[in-house]
Amino acid sequence: MKNLVISALIPMLVVSAYAQQGFQAEALLVRPDGKSFRAWVLATTATDIRFKTTAVSTTSTDAKIADFSTIYLDEPAEYTEAMDLFEARKYKQAQELFAGVKDTYRPVATLKNNYHTLAAFYEMESMRKLGNLEGLATALQSFTKEPLVRDDHLRQLELYVMWDAARAESWDKLLAIASGRDAEDLPGYQRAQVAYNKGLALQNLDRPEEALLEYAIAMTADAGSSEQIAKDAALNSLRIYHQDEEVQLAIANWGTENEKRTSPGFTRLTEAAALAAFYEKFLQTGAPLPENLRQFLKFTA
């Protein structure tokens, strides 16, 4: 009898261990028969949930998560604010807010689609957008993906392996990972990531012409909405043009009797000039072209 009592207490003790002083998250709890009610969730584990039936109640109820067909947490105002900053491309501020939401909502981290996990995911996305691949690699080590439910979120976690190869400058590995995604039907922002990383690998493997094709895809896959990727792809493309001996010859011969407008170098020079102008008009966002690449602005067919 004593053992049965102890066994019955264990789930409640575990939930108590997950609880956080003063924390409660408003939610809608739906039973399998369709009946629902509002609740204020205090803590969860993989199998159990503790909640109150009013915001000011001093007593709580323990139940099994399996007792409910749906547990829908209301979106926190601070999470909404962080998403607004993220969508406004204010990634540093968004990252800081997501980190706060992640810590606050830790008591419900085991629920599907919970705001601890979602905030942690978008904290990593903010790091990726900022180019903080070291921070992303560190954050990924402690991230638990099981509560995520959206396919694009889960696929993005897989793409982080690709970004980590870029961070480590493992170009052969990066090319293999990115090429493995060529046949997939990806949303634009993920296709841009794959194309950019494939271009980066090809550029560093001394395959510049192939790299230019991938960078072009990276700049156009989601109509430039992946602004940092588009910017980096444009700059890397201009660096490839700048290192091209035939382009340098076309620069030297520009406007002279030796100019050959039908030469591959001349064609690539005009491509570089158009890309440089596009960068200055649409992509620079306060960071103008480096001086050695600005010279392309002088050349038009």
What is residue 200's predicted lDDT score, i.e. its pLDDT? 98
* Distance, C-alpha 173 to centroid of its chain: 20
pLDDT tens digits, 262-294: 999 999 999 999 999 999 999 988 788 999 999
What is residue 176's predicted lDDT score, i.e. its pLDDT? 98
What is residue 224's predicted lDDT score, i.e. its pLDDT? 76
pLDDT tens digits, 115-137: 999 999 999 999 999 999 999 99
What is residue 15's predicted lDDT score, i.e. its pLDDT? 57
Nearest to 77 by CA among 117, 59, 53, 104: 104
Which parts of 168-226 fold into alpha helices (H)? 171-179, 188-204, 208-220
3-class SS of residue 30: strand
Which one-letter DSSP state was computed for residue 214?
H
d(CA 261, CA 266): 6
Which one-letter DSSP state was computed for residue 36?
E
What is residue 300's predicted lDDT score, i.e. its pLDDT? 76
What is residue 16's predicted lDDT score, i.e. its pLDDT? 57
Q: Structure pTM? A: 0.91
Q: From the CB of residue 268, how many other CB atoms can be counted at a distance below 10 Å? A: 18
Nearest to 140 by CA among 115, 157, 126: 157
**Low-confidence residues in the chain, pLDDT < 50:** 2, 4-10, 13
